[in-house]
Chain A
Amino acid sequence: MLKDILKILESDARATPSQIAAMTGMPQAEVTKLIKKAQRDRTILKYKAIINWDKTENEHVFAWIGVRLEPQKDVGFDSIAERIYRFPQARSVYLVSGTYDLLVLVTGKNNHEIANFVSQKLSHIEGVKETVTQFILKRYKEDGEVMEGTEEIKRQAVVL
């Protein structure tokens, strides 16, 4: 089943069709076919690594920006969201319930870059009423992966 394949790839994007075939009991050709189809119809968007940038020299700053929108005639939230997500600085964009309408994850080389994006670009978009920027100070867990101090499993080597 495609779902089984997707679950395996979501936890390890490098799993090969032959490994997936062994894990699911499906023929390898079938696995390859289903993966290709999922890539074509964009069920699988991309394969990428989860990186702890804090361990590198590479500076990366992230911020969550809450955006309140002004409902406008003939312009839905979707089109405002689109104007925002077209910017490469916006890494993730969600429509949410609660105090804000959109949540935008923004990344930049430093605080200044993010501040510029918000004041020069985001806040000028028509329909954007208010923004609240929250800089990320420390990442504990990313996409299900704990950044540091994962548990070390200690088991007896042989148990009857």
Chain B
Amino acid sequence: MSKQTGIQKHRKQHISQRANQLSPSGIRKFFDLLSSIGGIISLGVGEPDFTTPWHIREAAIESIEKGQTMYTSNSGMPELRKELARYLKNEYGIDYDPTSELLITVGVSEALDLAMRATLDHGDEVILPDPSFVAYKSCVILAEGKPMSIPTYEASNFEINAADIEAHITPKTRAILIGYPSNPTGAVMSREQLVKIAAVARKHNLTVLSDEIYCKLVYGVEHTCFASLPEMKEHTILLGGFSKAFAMTGWRVGYAAAPREVITAMTKIHQYTMMCVSTMGQVAALEALKGGQDSVIEMVEDYNRRRLVIVKGLREIGLSCFEPRGAFYAFPSIKCTGMTSEEFAENLLTEEKVAVVPGSAFGKCGEGYIRCCYATSLSEIEEALNRMRRFVNKYRKT
């Protein structure tokens, strides 16, 4: 080895336009700040505070002990796909062929990416709600598509409106991407509105990508699976997963259910980029489906108690907060303080050590709101509300 001089010439790395055009997270500074402060109560998380139910973990451990450590079929273990088909039939009455219409993916995130890459051509437009999950726009852009945001408002419960969708349709429009129950707003869509969107999709021959990762987390309403609407199965790419319902975020297991041609195309990309989902993750997912939903029901009951506490608490503070009927987020307005969402989140963090996510991270229409995740203990929620009350009282303008 030659002697190192200790001085290395810095090579300027070439970064693709593809990566460069992705907007960096607008709240990087906020994250850095967060990691430097101790004693924080975080309402900024995006995952359950339950650990995966034991029967699921136990099944995965056993599979490892038995040496189930090899690749599975690219599309996912046949037993898992079969069980998933049965589950979708039971839950929503939709028939998916486990051999050709289902694909097991690395979380919904991969399913979303694959769906975009499999269905979009350069310049194709995708209509999506604003605010919505941060990855939606970037996934469209990575697939060379063009995201077309449609504003949604607190006054209409952050539902995306079929008439608004139709008004934004151009000859380049290829798909509608919806994600309800919604991260960040906790909004759900009424069946009536979904039926209207279905009519628009049919009329203009559009694909609907429906991200239903939070489908099990609804409170006092019934979740409508978009693909279950009349004639919608052939128009829909249903994206789902195990993370939220079964408290399995770290396992990274999701799925896509769609017409055969779409799944074939998605599987092609998946096999070259991912091979297959981790085998133990799939074993765990299979156990989750087979083990019944008792633990899901219990978790939902628990979330519901905290949901009622946080919404009531936020309103008592004087923040307007529409009633979130799904997921585990409350999305109160902080406009009465005159601050931007980012200022509010940053000041709240430094002054009162409560972490929330600025609504502006999820789109322009999220400005003036903050996302508060209530998947945390009741005592923490109560303490966070106390601190927020103090903070809002100090800065209230109106």
Contact = CB atoms under 8 A, between A and B. Distances in A.
A2 B274 CA distance: 50
Interface in A109-160: 151, 153, 155-160
A159 B44 contact: yes
A3 B40 CA distance: 34
A151 B31 CA distance: 26
B53 to A, nearest CB: 12
B248 to A, nearest CB: 14
Given A22-B313, A151-B51, A160 B308 contact: no
- Counting chain B CB atoms within 10 Å of each CB, the highest count among A22, A25, A157, A160 belongs to A160
A23 interface: yes
Interface string B115-157: 0000000000000000001100000000000000000000000
Name the interface size band of chain A: 10 to 19
A160 to B, nearest CB: 5
Chief secondary structure at chain A's binding surface: loop
B42 interface: yes
A68 to B, nearest CB: 35
Nearest to B306: A23
Contact of B45 (A7, A24, A151, A157): A157
A110 to B, nearest CB: 35
A25 B301 contact: no
A8 interface: yes
A25 B357 CA distance: 26
A150 to B, nearest CB: 11
Contacts of B45: 155-159
A153 B51 contact: yes
Given A8-B305, A22-B309, A160 B42 contact: no
Contacts of A19: 309, 378
B355 interface: yes
B34 A159 contact: no
B355 A155 contact: no
A159 B47 contact: yes
Given A157-B34, A160-B361, A24 B308 contact: yes
Nearest to B298: A7
Interface string B14-57: 00000000000100001100110000101011110101000000
Contact of B49 (A7, A8, A153): A153
B204 interface: no
Interface of B: 25, 30-31, 34-35, 40, 42, 44-47, 49, 51, 133-134, 301, 305-306, 308-309, 312-313, 355, 357, 361-362, 378
19 contacts: A4-B301, A7-B301, A19-B378, A23-B308, A24-B305, A25-B308, A151-B51, A155-B47, A157-B42, A158-B30, A158-B31, A158-B34, A158-B42, A158-B45, A159-B45, A159-B47, A160-B46, A160-B133, A160-B362
Interface of A: 4, 7-8, 19, 22-25, 151, 153, 155-160
Given A7-B301, A158-B42, A158-B44, 19 more contacts: A4-B301, A8-B305, A19-B309, A22-B309, A22-B312, A25-B308, A153-B51, A155-B42, A157-B34, A157-B35, A157-B42, A158-B30, A158-B34, A158-B45, A158-B355, A159-B44, A159-B45, A160-B133, A160-B357
